[in-house]
Amino acid sequence: MSQEIDWTDYPCDGFYDELVAAPGQPRAVVRALLADLAELGTEELAVRQEAADVSIKEMGISFTVYSEEGGTIDRSWPFDVVPRVIPQSEWQRVEAGLKQRVQALNLFIDDLYHEQKIIADGVFPREVLAKSVNFREQCIGVNPPLGIWAHICGSDLVRDADGCIYVLEDNLRVPSGVSYMLENRLVTKRVLPELFEHYAPLPVDDYPSQLFDTLAALSPRPADYPQVVVLTPGIYNSAYFEHAYLAQQMGAELVEGRDLFVDGDDCCYMHTVDGPERVDVIYRRIDDLFLDPEAFRPDSALGVPGLVRAWKAGHVALANAPGAGVADDKVVYAFVPEIIRYYLDQDAIIPNVPTYRCMEPQDLNYVLEHLHELVVKPANESGGYGMLIGPAATAAERETFAAAIKQDPRNYIAQPTLKLSTVPTVVKKGIEPRHVDLRPFILSADRQQVTTGGLTRVALRKGSLVVNSSQGGGSKDTWIVSEDVASEPLAASSAAESQPASSGQVTQTQTQNQSTR
């Protein structure tokens, strides 16, 4: 017999839990779902978790890690069956906020590569731009199709202990993870079919066709069916699974740099068995600097010589456009609320994590006085390098950092240490809270679209805040659920429909429950 889950024992003090407000008190939107999970019990939930793990292996959902012998191995994608649920009303606000943010960022990027009005008007400091490592001089004056630079954006959202959702960072270069969002949904449908059917989370499966439409809208030859390709660095890239997956789902060719060439007419072609074939739109999953040895790093073997030339001539579209990463910078991030106000004359719908800009004397003083409680990040590093996590650092480390900040204040920002929200997660002994973030994807071309939810990443180690898959992170399905649909537990509604007219599925579930008791 499966032991029922007792939500009054669920230890969610001190953090905001996405599903449980306080021990024994489910949040409104999941009151019914938690009752169903409780009845399912820990053992049955473990069985479902195992089924999910098997499905993932069978479906070949993997990510690549480098092995010691120089080869690579595909590792199965870690996944937790308990979904993260967001009420539809809240999501609508987040969605509007993301659209607003990306619209402003695109205007900002376009302005930086043209008149730089935002600098002339004194809203954005010129020295921040001068220090940006992702600003590409080669892109000055270029007019990409529709004036859009960041067609695919992945913004990381976190919820702090106050229950408020913040944007932690925007990824405007080659954000990844969307294929796992899609696969997580397939796995959930397989292993929790009855709950899925009952709570009817909004679908996520449109993404590949939306992505294709976004890319197709950029085609320089709108009259013809556009030749869209996905450009990958190759099978040894850690996101190769996603590149292959998206190409397959869109029915586009998956190409490597050597498959493409730019001819004397400044058009881009791919080598096919039938001869050269013109390419209209390239969804590139290669970083700017490797795109074109003529324009950027001359030693890049991954890119296509002349590609930037063809792009500037308007003969091929690149998504995202080279240089879009200029807005993907920690100091630029700190200015996003001002950027939104400047271009759209609106307040930001989703706030930034409060950020201190050390370049401003008042902020600098505060940061230096409060180093022990802040996270300090250098502007031009990524992947967590060169960060100071104040509460965890030694006094000596803080002193060294204070000196570095005073030396070059413009290169640093600081943020309070966040208490990432948690979601119930299956562990060896039942169910415990684990920290999560959320990466939705925003598509921009002739119109804007946001994924329904996004990829919820979860730090599977107890107490850990690291959600990265290479460091013990996993993921969850993300459900956007209408409050009306979710109000009744499955068990209650099936009892109410006790007439023979009820569906076969419900009747069957009841029989099974009775026989296991």
Site residues (CB under 8 A) for other proteins, limited to 299-328: 301, 304-306
Choice between 301 and 392, CB closer to other proteins:
301
Choice between 153 and 228, CB closer to other proteins:
228
| Per-residue binder mask for other proteins (CB under 8 A), 450-469, x = binder | --------------------
Choice between 81 and 230, CB closer to other proteins:
230
Q: How far apart are the first and last CA of the chain?
A: 6
How many of the chain's residues bind other proteins (CB under 8 A)? 27
Choice between 229 and 289, CB closer to other proteins:
229
**In 10 A of CB 21, how many CB atoms?**
15
The distance of closest approach from Cβ of residue 259 to other proteins in the complex, given in angstroms and rounded to an integer, is 5
Q: Which of 28, 164, 235, 496 binds other proteins (CB under 8 A)?
A: 235
The distance of closest approach from Cβ of residue 229 to other proteins in the complex, given in angstroms and rounded to an integer, is 9
| Per-residue binder mask for other proteins (CB under 8 A), 187-226, x = binder | ----------------------------------------
Choice between 36 and 292, CB closer to other proteins:
292
The distance of closest approach from Cβ of residue 195 to other proteins in the complex, given in angstroms and rounded to an integer, is 30
Determine whether 284 is exposed, middle or buried from the number of CB atoms within 10 Å of its CB (0-12, 13-18, 19+).
buried
The distance of closest approach from Cβ of residue 252 to other proteins in the complex, given in angstroms and rounded to an integer, is 11
The DSSP-derived string for 308-363 is HHHHHTTSSEEESPTTGGGGSSHHHHHTHHHHHHHHH-S--SSPBPP-EETTSHHH
Site residues (CB under 8 A) for other proteins, limited to 242-281: 244, 248, 253-256, 258-259, 261-264, 269-276
The distance of closest approach from Cβ of residue 475 to other proteins in the complex, given in angstroms and rounded to an integer, is 23
The distance of closest approach from Cβ of residue 477 to other proteins in the complex, given in angstroms and rounded to an integer, is 25
Choice between 226 and 433, CB closer to other proteins:
226
CA 146 vs CA 42, 135, 214, 512: distances in Å: 52, 20, 11, 57
Site residues (CB under 8 A) for other proteins, limited to 403-422: none
**Residue pair 196/445 in contact by the 8 Å Cβ criterion:** no
Q: Is 286 in the site for other proteins (CB under 8 A)?
A: no
Region of 116 (left: φ > 0; alpha: ψ -120 to 50; beta: rest) is left
Helix residue ranges, H only, 351-500:
361-369, 395-407, 490-496
Site residues (CB under 8 A) for other proteins, limited to 32-71: 60
Q: What angle do CA 371, 377, 379 make, to 5 degrees?
A: 140
What are the strands, taking DSSP E only, across 67-164? 72-76, 79-87, 152-159
Choice between 307 and 443, CB closer to other proteins:
307
How far apart are the C-alpha atoms of 422 and 355, rounded to whole Å?
A: 23
Return the exposure string of 26-54: e unless at least 16 CB atoms fall within 10 Å of the residue's CB, then b: bbebbebbbbbbbebbbebbbebbeebbe
The distance of closest approach from Cβ of residue 474 to other proteins in the complex, given in angstroms and rounded to an integer, is 24
Under 8 Å CB-to-CB from 52, ≥6 apart: which residues? 79, 81, 187, 188, 190, 191
Choice between 114 and 258, CB closer to other proteins:
258
The DSSP-derived string for 170-189 is EE-S----HHHHHHHHHHHH
Place of tokens 């294929």: 179
With CA atoms as reference, report the closest residue to 28 among 70, 87, 99.
87
Choice between 257 and 489, CB closer to other proteins:
257
The distance of closest approach from Cβ of residue 274 to other proteins in the complex, given in angstroms and rounded to an integer, is 5
- Residues binding other proteins (CB under 8 A): 60, 234-235, 244, 248, 253-256, 258-259, 261-264, 269-276, 301, 304-306
